Amino acid sequence: MKIVVLGGTGRIGARVVALLAERGHEAVAASRSTGVDAVAGTGLDAAFDGADVVVDATESSAWDEAGVIEFFTAATGNVLAAEDRVGVGHHVALSIVGIDRNPEARGYLAGKVVQERLVAESAVPSTIVRATQFFEFLPQIADASTVDGEVRIGTALMQPVAAEAVARALADAAEARTAGAVEVAGPERAPLAEFLRRDLSDRGDARAVVVDPAAGYFGRVVGETSLVPVRDDAVIDPVGYEEWRAAS
């Protein structure tokens, strides 16, 4: 199959391209560096010509709520419209575990709510791959949660996963072309504060992690299980934090 990967030169997208190529597919990386701009809507028709599947692994360059919503509204709308024009058979989107249970989510998560809604409303058959937070993003979470030198985080549970496992789930979804949703997570479930403490310690960062129920997650209070999988058929990758750290 010809499979186009939007964001195909990024953290997840590049891994997806490599995996699909190893499996014998014509995997095409599409990004602004290759002349494809989903937000502007340029280069999409040419990139999608002859494609059986499009995998959307794009990441917003903005993190504020308004900017993220604007990004996903424009990018997802343009991509789906181009797929419909060209005749792409299936769309695979990367999202976040819990988005379907948090329709009023704020901040960055609000943009993913918009993205999922647009995908669901499209005429193009689709699969949504919802992943928990990546191990690779723990430092960014700590930085975003730092106030006066302390990392202040809420009480939500987390079940982080390696980026490699997320890329594999996207590649699997592209091959299967089964409409619906998939959840993917790591093997360990614990308070986010615990993972942040381990990561900071391993990186020699002396910042203290303070559990503050009012602090929430990226500025929003979320339920204890809002960010972990609840589906019985969730894909649980066996790579835990210690194995991921040793490999990275």
Q: Is the dihedral of CA 151, 155, 160, 166 positive or negative?
A: negative
Where do runs of H (alpha helix) occur along 203-240?
A: none
- Here the tokens at position 154 are 């809420």
Taking the CA of residue 65 as centre, how many other CA atoms within 13 Å lie in the half-sphere pointing to its CB?
10
Tens place of pLDDT per residue across the chain (248 aa)? 999 999 999 999 999 999 999 999 999 999 999 999 999 999 999 999 999 999 999 988 777 888 889 999 999 999 999 999 999 999 999 999 998 887 666 777 888 999 999 999 999 999 999 999 999 999 999 998 999 999 999 999 999 999 999 999 999 999 999 999 999 999 999 999 999 999 999 999 999 999 998 887 876 778 889 899 988 899 999 999 999 999 98
pTM: 0.92
The rounded distance, in Å, linking the Cα atoms of 51 and 88 is 6
CATH number at residue 80: 3.40.50.720
pLDDT of residue 77: 97
- 123 by Cβ neighbours in 10 Å (0-12 / 13-18 / 19+) ranks as exposed
Residue-range definition of the domain harbouring residue 6: 2-247
Q: How many domains does the chain have?
A: 1
The CA–CA distances, whole Å, from 131 to 74, 119, 160, 200 equal 22, 16, 9, 22
The rounded distance, in Å, linking the Cα atoms of 72 and 112 is 7
Taking the CA of residue 202 as centre, how many other CA atoms within 13 Å lie in the half-sphere pointing to its CB?
16
Strands (E), 10-135: 26-30, 53-56, 90-96, 126-131
pLDDT of residue 21: 98
